[in-house]
């Protein structure tokens, strides 16, 4: 299987690994296909900017690389912008993923949405209204 240099770089030196102790949004999802798990922590400012984001995963190399890239892409962005991030955009930013590994990139997108949803819930807002689903 051929991985791009960017995938290998993010896999061997993942950015934003760990936990945020005072996170105000936490999301966890499992991949139905392989049983791998991803957890994302968000520190969102009062005006809705993602000040910090970290992730932990029990997942394969492609899951680690996509999470690393996804967290880099949403850091400093507004929640609205972060919600527009797709696994396809993350894969493109990594110069592509082997087709059999595309589903691994879904973990990061879903964990991120779940963490944002948790953030809205903690504020007493209905995430379904903001995300259009949950």
Footprint on this chain of ligand FES (rule: CB under 6 A): 31, 33-34, 36, 59-60, 62-63, 101, 103-104, 107
What's the min distance (Å) between Cβ of 126 and ligand FES?
Answer: 30
Q: How far is the CB of 109 from ligand FES (least distance, A)?
A: 12
Indicate the residue among 44 and 115 with the shorter CB distance to ligand FES: 115
Furthest-apart CA atoms within the chain: distance in Å: 46
**By C-beta, is 31 or 44 nearer to ligand FES?**
31
In this chain, which residue has its C-beta nearest to ligand FES?
34
**CA separation for the pair 26, 78 (Å, rounded):** 16
What are the residues whose beta carbons fall under 8 Å from the beta carbon of 17, sequence distance 6 or more? 54, 55, 56, 68
Q: Which DSSP string do the residues of 14-72 spell out, in sequence order?
A: -SSBS--TT-SEEEEEE-TTT--EEEEEEEE-TTSBEEEEEEEEE--HHHHHHHHHHHH
Asked if 60 is an active-site residue, the reply is no
For residue 133, indicate whether it is catalytic: no
Q: How many CB atoms lie within 10 A of CB 45?
A: 11
- Whose Cβ is closer to ligand FES: residue 110's or residue 118's? 110
CB of 23 to ligand FES, least distance (A): 22
The least distance separating ligand FES from the CB of residue 113, rounded to whole angstroms, comes to 16
- Exactly one of 23, 65, 79, 104 is catalytic; which is it? 104
Question: In whole angstroms, what is the distance from residue 128 CA to residue 133 CA?
Answer: 5
Q: What positions carry a catalytic annotation?
A: 34, 104
């Amino acid at each position: 299987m051929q991985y791009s240099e960017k995938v290998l770089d993010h896999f061997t030196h993942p950015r934003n690994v760990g936990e945020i102790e005072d996170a105000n949004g936490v999301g966890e999802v499992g991949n139905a296909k392989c049983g791998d798990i991803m957890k994302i922590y968000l520190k969102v400012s009062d005006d809705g900017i993602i000040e910090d984001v970290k992730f932990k995963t029990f997942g394969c190399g492609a899951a680690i690389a996509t999470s690393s890239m996804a967290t880099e892409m949403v850091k400093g962005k507004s929640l609205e912008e972060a919600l527009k991030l797709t696994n396809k955009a993350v894969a493109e930013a990594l110069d592509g993923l082997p087709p059999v590994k595309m589903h691994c990139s879904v973990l990061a997108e879903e964990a991120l949405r779940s963490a944002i949803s948790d953030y809205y819930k903690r504020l007493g807002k209905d995430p379904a209204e903001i995300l259009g689903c949950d």
